[in-house]
Amino acid sequence: MRKLINIFIVGVIIIEITTYNNIVTAANKSELQDEQSNISNSISEAKDELEDIEEEKSENLKVAQDLTLQISDYEQEIEELDIGIEDLEKQISETKGKIEEDEKEYNKNQKALNERLVAMYEYGDTSYLDYFLSSSSLTEFISSYYLVSEMADYDTQLLDEIEKEKNQLEEDKKSLEDDKGKLDSAKVSKQEKINSLKVAKQQKEEAVANLSENEKQTQSKIEGLQADKAEIEKQLRQIAAAEEAERKKQEQANKKQNASTSGSSTTSSSSSGASSNTSSSSQGSKGFIFPVQGLSKANIRNKTFPSYAGHSGVDININVTGKKVVAAKSGTVVKSTALKNPDGSYKSYGEYIMIAHGDGTITVYAHMLAGSRTVSQNQTVSQGQVIGTVGSTGNSTGPHLHFEVRVKSYNSSSGVYTYKAVNPIPYLP
């Protein structure tokens, strides 16, 4: 009996221990599951936090890039305003000088007229009959009549001249006041841009401070690219200014020439130019052909303009490796160079060419293959002429041709002409 009781007790103990172990095991499993869930939640939270950090970094880089573009725009606008202010100050000075000279001439003629009026008053009203009666002969009468007639014509011309000079003086003085108003407005606008520039630079410094090292390198490249673009913009303004100066010079020359001579000269100059080489290429509505030999707009992956902030052209980037770059229109090469860093590596546009077409447009061909440029500055090129090979030099991640169309435009606020980038797609066939 005692033996059975002992066996029962042992059995109960075993059952209790087993039950306890099961309970403990169940408890541990539940805890582990809870702990695993907590860890999963922590990992998820950590991932979310990392993603937020990455998004924040990306946002900081985006802000820095946007501010870099904004700063570049402000600097360009200030530079254009400086040019406009300088031109206005020069124009005001020239107008003042012209007014002084015209006033001297006006006063001289006015004095001469006053003397004539005094003389006429002193001698009274002398009629042609008086000259006839007082003449001793017909010859003396004719001579006296001619003299009086000439004096009358002179008086009339003098009056006309004085009236013209007076009107011109009034126009010049009005122009002077207008220019002074423009100058004051330009100076105010410049100060506003300078203030905005200071704010943008401060904001950019704050954004750059929060960038990672890799992002700072990216930002540095972007800033370098913008600096090179600013230099190109400056060159384009100089080209536009030289063209405007030549146009005004030609206008002055045309005023002194006979209309027929001017017409024949224009015909002669317009017919000169390189022969077209477009037999195998179709022209767009604006007279351009596609700038990569054998390709078309189907070889442009992204046709939106601008495809991203600060992008001033389109990238021809489908099946372009080894393809030849051609002049989209005949013209004159105004730039053919390679942009490089001090260590000799390519930067920004890399190997690039600019061609002025003489119709208010300029085309730009960038990132071409190293050493592939076949034309030089001031060289005349024909439409369809090979000027290089598609490459990936400069700020480029793969073979493509960066193609721009620039159109001459006038900035009314600064009074400066330049060539602004426009959507190239409508210019291509």
Residue 410 and residue 271 in contact, taking contact as beta carbons nearer than 8 Å: no
Tally of CB atoms within 10 A around 226: 20
Query: How many Å apart are CA 338 and CA 393, to the nearest integer?
Result: 9
pLDDT tens digit sequence for 77-103:
887 788 778 778 888 888 888 888 877
The answer to whether the peptide bond before residue 429 is cis (omega within 30 degrees of 0) is no
β 416-422/401-411 pair status:
antiparallel
Residue 141 and residue 131 in contact, taking contact as beta carbons nearer than 8 Å: yes
Instruction: Domain 283-427: give its CATH superfamily.
Output: Glucose Permease (Domain IIA) (2.70.70.10)
β 380-381/386-389 pair status:
unpaired
Residue pointed to by tokens 């960066």: 402
Residue 148 and residue 141 in contact, taking contact as beta carbons nearer than 8 Å: no
pLDDT tens digit sequence for 333-375:
999 999 999 999 999 899 999 999 999 999 999 999 999 999 9
Question: What's the CA angle centered on 281, arms 277 and 284, to 5 degrees?
Answer: 105
Residue 406 and residue 420 in contact, taking contact as beta carbons nearer than 8 Å: yes
Beta bridge partners of 401: 316
Please state the separation of Cα 238 from the chain's center in Å: 11
* Least confident window among 39-43, 97-101, 419-423: 39-43
Higher pLDDT pick, 288 / 226 = 288
> Counting beta carbons within 10 angstroms of the beta carbon of residue 10, is it exposed (0 to 12), middle (13 to 18) or buried (19 or more)?
exposed
Q: Tell me the CA distances in angstroms from 92 to 73, 102, 116, 132, 340, one per residue in order.
A: 28, 15, 36, 56, 42
The single-letter code of the amino acid at 166 is K
pLDDT bin (cut points 50, 70, 90) of residue 114 is low
What is the phi/psi pair of residue 189, to 5°? Answer: -60, -40
pLDDT exceeds cutoff 60 at 405 = yes
Higher pLDDT pick, 315 / 66 = 315
The single-letter code of the amino acid at 148 is V
| DSSP element (H, E) containing 409 | strand 401-411
Question: What's the CA angle centered on 279, arms 274 and 282, to 5 degrees?
Answer: 105
The answer to whether the peptide bond before residue 342 is cis (omega within 30 degrees of 0) is no
Q: Which of 353, 332, 336 is nearest to 274 (CA)?
A: 332
Two structure tokens written together for 70: 């904004």
pLDDT tens digit sequence for 221-232:
888 888 888 888
Query: How many Å apart are CA 378 and CA 362, to the nearest integer?
Result: 14
Domain residue spans of the chain:
94-209, 283-427
Would the pTM count as exceeding 0.85? no
CB contact set of 46 (below 8 Å; sequence gap of 6+): none
Beta-strand ranges (E) seen in 65-104 are none
Two structure tokens written together for 201: 């630079």
Q: Tell me the CA distances in angstroms from 244 to 159, 247, 250, 262, one per residue in order.
A: 37, 5, 10, 19
pLDDT bin (cut points 50, 70, 90) of residue 110 is confident
CB contact set of 11 (below 8 Å; sequence gap of 6+): none
Q: Which percentage of the chain shows pLDDT scores above 70? A: 69
Residue 348 and residue 265 in contact, taking contact as beta carbons nearer than 8 Å: no
Tally of CB atoms within 10 A around 370: 13
Query: How many Å apart are CA 374 and CA 126, to the nearest integer?
Result: 84
pLDDT bin (cut points 50, 70, 90) of residue 332 is very high
Residue 196 CA neighbour count, 13 Å, CB half: 17
Query: How many Å apart are CA 399 and CA 323, to the nearest integer?
Result: 10
